DNA sequence: GATCCACAGGAAGCATTGGTAA
DNA sequence: TTACCAATGCTTCCTGTGGATC
């Protein structure tokens, strides 16, 4: 019995409340740093909702880790509770469009999120229904249950098309819903997103637009300081947070990355049996954050999608620093890899699409070039990750599978 | 100005899988 | 059980691109 007890550590010597360092953690009031103006602007835009009126549709831009989703969720939560004090039934639905990329998946997520089958008697299955059926059920749920609903579409640029935006932004006008008012908050990392929107969607969805600037080193330090009670007292050495903030500020002011680095630094200290989180662990944590990010990006990708990346990594490793490799060159190496793996290679057309998918996930960068006679226009591809990290992760995954 | 030609990428279609509703 | 639907992963076909060359 005692031996079994020794197997586990009853008390964590480093973390007192690790939840504070989770990406999904929504900080309470006073813990959101450097976003007072943005929160106030957002609240003004959706303010009519607390009286049961239509909130403005909003589009929020900003790079990764600038607090867009955090502020949108925070304002939505506050809106729901304030509306309730005014006797208005409100809610919000959150859709991660990176997960739900198609119109059907997104509508299903919204409908499921706002539904209570016991109350409405409406069932919203995960899949199997036509898109129009999901819409019909969603409209019925909204009219039955709510006066106002705010729909947060995170990473809206990852949606396949604008169809859902058209439906949501015009649901009231089109008479799809009669008792419920709808507001849409679109969140995008890409400022150019608006350019490719349908004109009709643009006019109704972009009533208000906000741009979230990246955090500077001081703000990042404050953000991390605000979550420092994730650790026990005196565990964080004084130089740890400033060092992590400086590193993250250098990399585009990404708060998410900064918090990741802090968490990893704590885990490294824990794994080494150290009583404190030292500055040197921050550097190691940064490397681990990079590898983990890449591992997360390629998780679940098909073997051929990996072979394409492997081809690019091999080219990068054997040719040193170049401004990228042409599709035809990547395809040649990819075909060799397929032969080694004893697998039939996919068509060049398909490989072009796979490369484009990797570029979309910011794993590689594509650049357009023009040759001359008999060269035409072509694309060059370059890994954004360290090629040796790519090779290592792909090899270790192959070994596992 | 016409031609060259490797390459990019849109469109259409096919096979398969995995689900719901009646 | 059957009809229907969405999603995925792929191929084939075809048109457009663009700087050098004739």
Residues A137, A274 share a domain? no
A1 pLDDT more than 50? no
Count the alpha carbons within 13 Å of A401 in the hemisphere toward its beta carbon: 12
The pLDDT-based confidence of A5 (bands split at 50, 70, 90) is low
Q: How far is CA A47 from CA A50, A83, A148, A153, in A?
A: 6, 9, 11, 19
Count the alpha carbons within 13 Å of A197 in the hemisphere toward its beta carbon: 22
Query: How far is Cα A252 from Cα A229, in angstroms, rounded to an integer?
Result: 25
Token look-up 């969607």 returns: A201
- Nucleotides of strand C lying closer than 7 angstroms to a protein CB: 4-13, 16-21
Residues A172, A208 share a domain? yes
Q: Please, are residues A258 and A244 in contact by the beta-carbon 8 Å criterion?
A: yes
Q: Measuring from the CA of residue A351 to each C1', which nucleotide is nearest? A: C10
The pLDDT-based confidence of A318 (bands split at 50, 70, 90) is confident
Residues A236, A102 share a domain? no
Residues A200, A112 share a domain? yes
**CA-angle at A321, arms to A315 and A327, nearest 5°:** 40
Q: Please, are residues A325 and A380 in contact by the beta-carbon 8 Å criterion?
A: yes
Residues A73, A186 share a domain? yes
Q: Is A30 a member of any domain?
A: no
Domain limits for position A328: 303-400
* A295-314 per-position pLDDT tens digit: 877 776 788 989 999 999 99
Q: Is A290 a member of any domain?
A: yes
Query: How far is Cα A263 from Cα A266, in angstroms, rounded to an integer?
Result: 5
CB of A353 under 7 A from strand C? yes
Residues A286, A186 share a domain? no
Q: Please, are residues A362 and A189 in contact by the beta-carbon 8 Å criterion?
A: no
Q: Both tokens of residue A274?
A: 């150290």
Q: Is A3 a member of any domain?
A: no
Q: What is the pLDDT of residue A373?
A: 58
- The sign one gets for the Cα dihedral A298, A302, A303, A306 is negative
Task: Say which CATH number the domain at A138 has.
Answer: 3.40.50.300
Question: Side by side, which strands form the sheet with A325-326?
Answer: A325-326, A377-383, A364-370
Q: What is the pLDDT of residue A3?
A: 47
CB of A102 under 7 A from strand C? yes
Rounded to 5 degrees, what are φ and ψ at A40? -65, -40
* A270-288 per-position pLDDT tens digit: 888 888 999 899 988 988 8
Residues A208, A170 share a domain? yes
Task: Say which CATH number the domain at A383 has.
Answer: 1.10.10.10
Task: Say which CATH number the domain at A254 has.
Answer: 1.10.8.60
* A22-67 per-position pLDDT tens digit: 877 777 666 788 888 999 999 999 999 999 999 999 999 888 888 9
Query: How far is Cα A391 from Cα A216, in angstroms, rounded to an integer?
Result: 33
Token look-up 């290592």 returns: A392
Residues A253, A111 share a domain? no
Where is the domain boundary, A168, A196, A212? A212
Number of CB atoms found within 10 A of residue A328's CB: 11
Where is the domain boundary, A277, A298, A319? A298
Query: How far is Cα A38 from Cα A68, in angstroms, rounded to an integer?
Result: 9
Strand-pairing partners, residue A236, are A277
Query: How far is Cα A182 from Cα A59, in angstroms, rounded to an integer?
Result: 15
Where is the domain boundary, A250, A280, A298? A298
Q: Is A136 a member of any domain?
A: yes
Q: What is the mean pLDDT of residues A245-251?
A: 85
Q: What is the pLDDT of residue A399?
A: 54
Q: Strands A58-62, A181-188: parallel, antiparallel or unpaired by DSSP?
A: parallel
The pLDDT-based confidence of A385 (bands split at 50, 70, 90) is confident
Q: Is A29 a member of any domain?
A: no
Protein residue with the closest CA to the C1' atom of nucleotide C5: A130
Domains in chain A, number: 3
Q: Measuring from the CA of residue A331 to each C1', which nucleotide is nearest? A: B7
Rounded to 5 degrees, what are φ and ψ at A185? -115, 110
Q: How far is the CA of A395 from the C1' of C11 (A)?
A: 29
Query: How far is Cα A68 from Cα A64, in angstroms, rounded to an integer?
Result: 8
CB of A24 under 7 A from strand B? no
Residues A224, A344 share a domain? no
Q: How far is the CA of A165 from the C1' of B18 (A)?
A: 27
A355 pLDDT more than 80? yes
Closest alpha carbon to A231 in A9, A6, A2, A18:
A18
Residues A257, A151 share a domain? no
Give alpha helix (H) positions in A115-239: 117-120, 131-145, 163-169, 199-205, 217-226
Query: How far is Cα A313 from Cα A296, in angstroms, rounded to an integer?
Result: 18
Residues 6+ apart with CB under 8 A from A121: none
Q: Strands A364-370, A377-383: parallel, antiparallel or unpaired by DSSP?
A: antiparallel
Query: How far is Cα A398 from Cα A357, in angstroms, rounded to an integer?
Result: 21
């Amino acid at each position: 019995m005692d031996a079994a007890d020794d197997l586990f550590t009853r008390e964590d010597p480093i973390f007192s409340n690790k939840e504070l360092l989770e990406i999904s953690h929504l900080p309470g009031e006073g813990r959101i740093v450097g976003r007072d103006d943005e929160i106030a602007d957002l609240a003004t835009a959706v303010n009519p909702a607390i009286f049961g009126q239509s909130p403005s549709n909003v589009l929020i831009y900003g790079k990764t880790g600038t607090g867009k989703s955090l502020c949108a969720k925070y304002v939505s939560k506050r809106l729901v509770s304030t509306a309730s004090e005014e006797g208005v039934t409100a809610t919000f639905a959150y859709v991660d469009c990176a997960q739900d990329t198609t119109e059907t998946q997104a509508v299903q997520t919204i409908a499921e999120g706002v539904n209570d089958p016991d109350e409405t008697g409406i069932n919203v299955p995960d899949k199997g229904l036509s898109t129009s059926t999901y819409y019909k059920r969603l409209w019925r749920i909204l009219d039955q249950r709510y006066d106002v609903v705010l729909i947060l579409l995170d990473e809206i640029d990852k949606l396949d098309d604008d169809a859902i935006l058209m439906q949501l932004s015009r649901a009231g006008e089109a008479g799809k819903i009669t008792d419920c008012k709808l507001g849409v908050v679109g969140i995008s990392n890409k400022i150019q997103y608006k350019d490719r929107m349908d004109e009709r969607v643009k006019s109704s969805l972009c009533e208000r637009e906000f741009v979230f600037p990246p955090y500077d080193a001081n703000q990042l330090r404050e953000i991390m300081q605000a979550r420092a009670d994730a650790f026990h007292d005196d565990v964080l050495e004084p130089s740890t947070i400033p060092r992590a903030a400086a590193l993250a500020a250098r990399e585009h002011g990404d708060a998410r990355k900064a918090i990741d680095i802090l968490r990893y630094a704590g885990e490294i200290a824990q794994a080494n049996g150290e009583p404190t989180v030292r500055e040197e662990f921050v550097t190691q944590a940064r490397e681990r954050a990079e590898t983990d990010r890449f591992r997360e990006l390629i998780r679940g990708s098909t073997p051929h999608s990996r072979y394409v990346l492997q081809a690019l990594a091999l080219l990068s490793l054997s040719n040193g620093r170049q401004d990228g490799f042409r599709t035809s060159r990547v395809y040649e190496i990819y075909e060799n890899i397929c032969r080694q793996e004893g697998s039939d290679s996919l068509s060049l057309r398909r490989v072009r699409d796979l490369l484009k998918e990797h570029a979309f996930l910011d794993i590689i960068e594509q650049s357009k070039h023009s040759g001359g006679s008999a060269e035409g226009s072509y694309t060059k591809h370059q890994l954004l990750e360290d090629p040796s990290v790519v090779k290592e992760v792909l090899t270790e995954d192959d070994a596992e599978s």
